[in-house]
Structure 1
């Protein structure tokens, strides 16, 4: 299925695997790429050396295009951009709107720039700055999210910009792909659906928690880092929502110390990153610390399997997913379902070329 997205990044299918921290590592990214979709390596939880090694590992596993996701507000964003350029990565995606200067540096090196946004005005801004495409996540999506549903936000953005738009938030099958194309998108991006594959390195016990969840078990809370965060509701989430300010601050300091040891970041660097998240938001100092080390809470679940101590970011689609296919099986299924849906929409006696 050829769309503006497949032509832009050189993949066979208009499907993107999002850059989920601690989840989107070399194994998942390369499996996605080999299946014909666009895999995005999550770099925010990596040191610079780890990022370079991870990119090279993906390259050793696939000759297909892939991308790297990074935080535009990170103090070392420029260093990460240089690694992307030096290593010949095809796509750079951003969790927040990158600066005009970062976009220009990447484009000059021939890297395709695809920021993720949650509002029309943000899409308009990055398009004006030269972004090649944009991923638009509606409120159904996992992790940090907004309030506007994909079905409302997506057509707004499609009408507002002249670059390819990739739809995220609430997608898990071929019917969703066709729906996104009908809205004017050039493809779909999925996170939770790729997390729940056999190629994902997330521990089996954690995957089981996702598979057991209903749509009512996926909630949005600001208790973790002061920003709306969609995740599975757990005892930890309940405890964070009930905890007083002093207790929350002590917990934040302990977890920040753990993330500092793991990441190699200095305290000053972590505080700068936290303050970057605080900018324009009414966050307490406890939330600033939590924002700086939220990756630690994710790691406890996604790597260590400690669902009692960590958080599990999740899209609402977790409540309708009940299996763990390989990436190859998943992509083949999505594309088969999309073609069947198109044929059904065409009506009896009408054939749509594939």
Structure 2
């Protein structure tokens, strides 16, 4: 079989990957196996570090480097109390890309760039892209409202061009992408590549239990819901019985459940109560959340772990983009990326064939 075409873009040039496809840093999902499989297939795999201790992150980085010599990245919470320590690990181990769920402070961006690390914050609005671009970010990822996990309300088709028009740095498009058509569409808008979460979660290289991945495949385009009941912020999840129950719970019941999960996360993460409080205060300042939302935010790690790691859909939630309704198989990362690139090349040739010249 012949090698697929390649698309050289600012994303591939900056990061050194072969294809302009990013596997996003999904908590409990984007571990060494998935990241290294993505990297070996020519995409940019991103390790999710928010659910890891610094020691676990160091081990995960080492494992990825043992599995592949290709570039990869690490996703960080910019408002984490130990963000500087995690950045030290990225620099020490020569990780190529640092991606951020929130805007990192200018001094963190400078420190990473001085060490040759490519900085890619995720943004939800053009004004946020302008801010991080002025601070020195190399590129940004923008996720439209159809994306999974924490998300906004503006669809990718409108959010993407608004960001591209606002900044001079490359933009990676996320939210609703799963095939070659989407890649060509994003490149046509002027994006430097696409980011995919749900599509990579639903691969044979994903560490999510197979029965859970198979369950994802049964949901249609109407199978997700955006709720604030999990952690106080809009969160797109599969519409399971657990989520329906969560939607009906009163605030008091949710807060009581949250306190229990907070204690579980404290034990799992190794963080002290004071560290958890500092993280909460930092999140409150950076995100403008209320203290009630901060308390509810402790739901997220444990609820996702129950669903995505332990496979307990009666006590956990499953993050998902609307794109789940378009997915019906579990290919390897290599098969997926190869398929996307081949399909994109064919779509581009077909579009060019439909182009009619003018005279005069």
Instruction: Please tell me the TM-score bracket, short chain as reference.
Output: over 0.9
Tell me how large the CA RMSD over aligned residues is: 1.3
TM-score (norm 1): 0.96
CA shift, 1:348, in A, is 6.2
- Deviation, 1:244, is 1.4
The one-character-per-residue Cα deviations of 1:266-314 (angstroms, maximum 9, x if unpaired) are 12212222333333535353x3223134111111111111111111111
**Is 1:255 aligned with 2:261?**
yes
Structure 2 gap segments, 5+ residues each: 1-6
CA displacement, residues 108-133 of structure 1 (integer Å, 9 cap, x when unaligned) = 11100000111100000000000000
Which residue of the partner structure matches residue 4 of structure 2?
none
Q: Which residue of 2 aligns with 1:211?
A: 217
What are the residue-to-residue correspondences of 1:74-223 with 2, within 5 Å? 74-223=80-229
Query: Are 2:283 and 2:289, in contact at CA under 8 Å, matched by a contact in 1?
Result: no
Distance in 1, Cα, partners of 2:298 & 2:107: 24
State the distance in 1 between where 2:316 and 2:282 align. Answer: 23
Deviations 1:189-220 (A, max 9, x none): 00000000000000012112211111111110
User: Which stretch has the larger CA shift, 290-299 or 162-171?
Assistant: 290-299
Secondary structure of the structure 2 residue equivalent to 1:304? coil
Q: CA deviation at 1:85?
A: 0.4
Which residue of 300, 303, 309 maps to 2:315?
309
SS at structure 2 position matched to 1:215: coil
**Aligned twin of 1:44:** 50
- 2:296 aligns with 290
1:204-239 Cα distance to aligned partner (Å, 9 max, x none): 121122111111111100001110001111222122
Distance 1:348 1:106 in 2: 45
2:351 is aligned with 1:345: yes
Paired positions, count: 349
Structure 1 unaligned regions, length at least 5: none
User: Judging changes above 3 Å, is the alpha-carbon distance between structure 1 residues 301 and 186 closer, same or farther for their aligned structure 2 residues?
Assistant: same
- Report how far residue 342 of structure 1 moved: 0.3
